[in-house]
Structure 1
Amino acid sequence: MYERTPRVGSKLTITRHSLACILPPDLLIELARSAEPDQRDALLSTLSIDQGLRLARAEIAARTLTRPITLQPTPTAGTPNRRIYDQAHSSDQTPGTLVRSEGEPPSTDQSVNQAYDNFGYTYALYWDVFHRDSIDGQGMPLEGFVHFGTDYDNAFWDDAGHMFFGDGDGTTLTDTTKGIDVVGHELTHGVTQHEANLMYSGQSGALNESCSDVFGSLVKQYHLGQTAQQADWLIGADIVGPLLAPALRSMKAPGTANHYDHQPATMDGYVQTTTDNGGVHTNSGIPNHAFYLVATAIGGNAWEAAGQIWYDTLVDPRLRPNATFSSFASLTLRSARSRYGATSTQANAVKSAWDAVKVRVR
């Protein structure tokens, strides 16, 4: 379910009312089939909560008229505005108890502090590198809801501007607030929502997921000061339990992150499916791998040239909500040539990467 509304500038906003979770429903179902009873209960509970949230949001979308955005100056640009709430294991999306606001000292609850810090690291990448003031570019508050549900094996971003953190069951996932890249991933869904608003289905949905993995990885690399060669290019390594170790996904080697990882690295393995919105989490391995190839071919810090090219593409008015891998790839090459030159190392790296993953660049 989505709505068409005018947007400031030339781009049309299409609001997607999907649930952008770090773990897809396909994986949760596969895990539940072979799980022990206690773990199966946690996985099935997670699936039930996720499905209920999807249905509720679709119903809200059918009744809601989204209004145009009015741009306002942000006098506090460069400073995040963070608020962390304790949901006390409730699965209610209404904010729980506010436990830490911007500038306040650390809490006694480590999950609160991890969410607060990782929000700050994500804000820092977008502000320091891309001069973007928060998710919407206008200083949007970053609101996190920790301890969501009981043994909830997921973390997700909702279109209202909130991130929800499950504590995990300890076997599938652990405390999801620990993942710098996971937080960067989920908040980037918000950036995408305010820019290209890539529809959460098929190739555009896989691009939506891939952009979140790309910038989630860049948040981690920027905070740790890692070059493209030093980074592990794993997503979720800090939140997985033993069942999904060592990570949820690998941008360097899609399909190898864990026993249940089925991501393809090239179009030869593209998965045609009706589940998970057309395989958005699976097929995102293809553009993920393309970014990894670009970043490592250019070398140095991935958030500089490679990240700038991807960011330029994400905010390009020519990127349509129903973009395909090919149209996105073509825009990345256009962005690279525009910023660095038609025959530059950066442009050549982009063209070679898409060729390697067998996506046609027009």
Structure 2
Amino acid sequence: MFTAKLCSSYPAATRLEYRVSPTSSSRRRTLTAGALAAVAALVAAGVQTGSANAVSVRDAAIAHAKTNVSRNAELFGFGAGQDLQVKDVIVDADGIQHVRFDRTYQGLPVIGGDLVVHQDARGRLKDSSRAKGHSPVVKSTVPSIPAKAGAAHALSAVPGISAATSVPQLVVWAADGTARLAWQTTVSGLGKQGQPSGKIVVTDATTGEEIEQLDAEHEATGTGHSEYTGDISISTTQQADGTFALIDPVRGHTTKDAHNLSSSSVKASSGTLYTDADNLWGDGKKFSTDRATAAVDAHANTAWTYDYYKNTFGRSGIKNDGRGATVFVHVGTNWDNAQWSDACFCMMTGDGNGTTDPEQVDLDTMGHEMTHGVTSATANLRYSGESGGLNEATSDIFGTMVEWYANNAVDTPDYLFSDQSTPPWLRRFDKPSLDGRSADCWSTKVGRLDVHNSSGVGNHWFYLASEGSGTKTINGFTYNSPTCNSSTVTGIGNQKVAAIWYRALTVYMTSTTTYKGARAASLSAASDLYGTGSAEYNAIAAAWSAVNVS
């Protein structure tokens, strides 16, 4: 695993982009009041489902429903200048039909003018459901307030959205039962956490008075069939068109398909946002052909990482500014890796090697990579020498703590890093040298190792301080951690050690901290949190001595 260390910041600009949206009547099937007679004639002539030349059950239901509206115009408030637009048709098992319509007046959408026609299997009217906008008739469809003024008002009405654009649409607003010509303006931009955000502002097109304001997107909870953590709930956003998107409205991150673009080419604007009609995501399989499956894990595990830092340390996101990251899955081709990039504030995950390693989206891997962002925003440990090893160890430590925090029954918490996506494990904490490359103990040679291997000293220290030395079984897995000085170490639990390490990282470490400096920083942190000479302070010191750092 590696991290990109470039960092840049671009101020958000607000711009006015007033475009009058066309009505959707040209894209939908419509029927004017005058044309309803033709439909009635068609029905009367004997169009029946099941006949040789019959239209489908759905089309027959629509035809009957439009006839019922025409014949009961007063009931439905239907008259000259109005069109019906089919929105949905439901046919029950017993043949009962429910046809839902939106409507327009003089070509303008009527907000609050929707209706449902309930009819029996033969198309005879049984009942109706109607919104408050019974009559959409307005004196004029020519606005006194220009589109530009409506767009500008909407922008000023929602100051919490940055990088905003404003698109007004002329409508007949009748949601309270009184029809008014209005500008319905959609303001789109970025919310306080950097997530896509939108508001709809409605203003009277005659007086300029604001009528209402509502969210263009709605928080929702989807069901994800994940690769690594079973069936889980994920936070999604319901968009204005009714579809759901992998935008976390609470934490602010957005999950996208990179379409196998190489990691060096990925930008925040790359890829495609995941959307879905029913808010059910993925198939739960490793090496899945359903591209949303990896997205489920990535989206959920980014949330777990955010929650761990927020609920444990009070940290709001990677940079502690509440901003959500952009998360990419399907980066590269057979890219058996994952990466954090400060440059685009992005998390990138590959699809594994296609044979033994599945998608790199498991809990500790995701937590590891995003912790590189936390390190960059705090101590900014240089990615070489001993400070580079400490950088990697920090990501291993907190990636593992995210796994312990989630406490998922499918991905049982352990001290094996990336055991799910790189089986049986990529690195382990109790004896790092079991991978054939990593260091268990500090020596003058450690700084010359690859940072993923010099991290072993920090990982070993963390395990000893948390669980102690010797053989023990934890969550069904047996560990055997030796010490480098033949001492016996008693652990104080990983939550206390993680708290000490977080304070050391964010308060005392600098970009060039070495292992000796990390010992001093963690002892200062232990003293702050638990007192000098406390059991916690002494355990931290003993664990450092046990890996030859003094």
Q: What TM-score results when the alignment is normalised by the length of structure 2?
A: 0.47
- Give the structure 1 partner of residue 497 of structure 2: 306
Aligned runs of 1:1-362 on 2, under 5 Å?
20-21=2-3, 79-91=250-262, 92-94=265-267, 95-99=270-274, 105-108=279-282, 109-160=292-343, 161-171=345-355, 173-177=357-361, 179-224=362-407, 231-240=413-422, 245-257=423-435, 261-268=436-443, 270-271=445-446, 273=448, 278-297=449-468, 302-303=494-495, 305-316=496-507, 318-360=508-550
- Give the structure 2 partner of residue 26 of structure 1: none
Q: CA deviation at 1:334?
A: 1.1
Q: State the distance in 1 between where 2:298 and 2:466 align.
A: 28
Would the alpha carbon gap of residues 120 and 301 (structure 1) be closer, same or farther in structure 2, given more than 3 Å must change? Answer: farther
SS in 2 for 1:165: strand
Q: State the distance in 2 between where 1:300 and 1:125 align.
A: 20
- Give the structure 1 partner of residue 152 of structure 2: none
Deviations 1:292-320, CA, capped at 9 Å, x for gaps: 111114657522x111100101111x321
Amino acid at match of 1:186: E
Q: CA deviation at 1:185?
A: 0.3
Unaligned runs of 5+ in 2: 12-159, 161-190, 194-248, 283-291, 469-489
Q: State the distance in 1 between where 2:297 and 2:413 align.
A: 21
Amino acid at match of 1:281: H
SS in 2 for 1:197: coil
Point out the structure with max Rg over C-alpha.
2
Q: CA deviation at 1:337?
A: 1.4
Q: State the distance in 2 between where 1:110 and 1:122 align.
A: 19
Please tell me whether the aligned partners of residues 260 and 333 of structure 2 are also in contact (alpha carbons under 8 angstroms).
yes
Amino acid at match of 2:453: T
- Give the structure 2 partner of residue 14 of structure 1: none
Please tell me whether the aligned partners of residues 267 and 357 of structure 1 are also in contact (alpha carbons under 8 angstroms).
yes
Please tell me whether the aligned partners of residues 192 and 323 of structure 2 are also in contact (alpha carbons under 8 angstroms).
no
Please tell me whether the aligned partners of residues 200 and 206 of structure 1 are also in contact (alpha carbons under 8 angstroms).
yes
SS in 1 for 2:374: helix
Please tell me whether the aligned partners of residues 89 and 150 of structure 1 are also in contact (alpha carbons under 8 angstroms).
yes
Please tell me whether the aligned partners of residues 206 and 281 of structure 1 are also in contact (alpha carbons under 8 angstroms).
yes
Q: State the distance in 1 between where 2:312 and 2:271 align.
A: 33
Please tell me whether the aligned partners of residues 467 and 493 of structure 2 are also in contact (alpha carbons under 8 angstroms).
no
Q: CA deviation at 1:142?
A: 2.2
Q: State the distance in 1 between where 2:275 and 2:460 align.
A: 37
Q: State the distance in 2 between where 1:121 and 1:144 align.
A: 14
Would the alpha carbon gap of residues 67 and 206 (structure 1) be closer, same or farther in structure 2, given more than 3 Å must change? Answer: farther
Structure with more strand by fraction: 2
Amino acid at match of 1:265: D
CA RMSD of aligned residues (A): 2.9
Q: State the distance in 2 between where 1:272 and 1:132 align.
A: 31
- Give the structure 1 partner of residue 223 of structure 2: none
SS in 2 for 1:164: strand
Structure with more helix by fraction: 1
- Bigger relative CO (Cα 8 Å, ≥ 6 apart): 1
SS in 1 for 2:434: coil
Would the alpha carbon gap of residues 225 and 114 (structure 1) be closer, same or farther in structure 2, given more than 3 Å must change? Answer: closer
Q: State the distance in 1 between where 2:401 and 2:408 align.
A: 10
SS in 2 for 1:89: coil
SS in 2 for 1:128: helix
Q: CA deviation at 1:225?
A: 7.0
Q: State the distance in 1 between where 2:280 and 2:534 align.
A: 46
Please tell me whether the aligned partners of residues 156 and 163 of structure 1 are also in contact (alpha carbons under 8 angstroms).
yes
Q: CA deviation at 1:289?
A: 0.7
Q: State the distance in 1 between where 2:494 and 2:427 align.
A: 18
Q: State the distance in 2 between where 1:338 and 1:231 align.
A: 28
Please tell me whether the aligned partners of residues 85 and 100 of structure 1 are also in contact (alpha carbons under 8 angstroms).
no
- Give the structure 2 partner of residue 7 of structure 1: none
Deviations 1:218-238, CA, capped at 9 Å, x for gaps: 000111179xxx953010001
SS in 1 for 2:274: strand
Amino acid at match of 1:217: T
Would the alpha carbon gap of residues 315 and 106 (structure 1) be closer, same or farther in structure 2, given more than 3 Å must change? Answer: farther
Would the alpha carbon gap of residues 66 and 225 (structure 1) be closer, same or farther in structure 2, given more than 3 Å must change? Answer: closer
SS in 2 for 1:163: strand
Would the alpha carbon gap of residues 171 and 272 (structure 1) be closer, same or farther in structure 2, given more than 3 Å must change? Answer: farther
Please tell me whether the aligned partners of residues 81 and 140 of structure 1 are also in contact (alpha carbons under 8 angstroms).
yes
Q: State the distance in 1 between where 2:510 and 2:532 align.
A: 23
Please tell me whether the aligned partners of residues 447 and 454 of structure 2 are also in contact (alpha carbons under 8 angstroms).
no
Q: State the distance in 2 between where 1:236 and 1:138 align.
A: 28
- Give the structure 2 partner of residue 28 of structure 1: none
Deviations 1:310-361, CA, capped at 9 Å, x for gaps: 0101111x3210111101111101111121011211101100000000012x
Q: State the distance in 1 between where 2:438 and 2:499 align.
A: 25
Please tell me whether the aligned partners of residues 416 and 427 of structure 2 are also in contact (alpha carbons under 8 angstroms).
yes
Please tell me whether the aligned partners of residues 20 and 158 of structure 1 are also in contact (alpha carbons under 8 angstroms).
no
SS in 2 for 1:135: coil
Would the alpha carbon gap of residues 347 and 301 (structure 1) be closer, same or farther in structure 2, given more than 3 Å must change? Answer: closer
- Aligned length in residues: 280
Between the aligned residues of both structures, percent identity stands at: 33
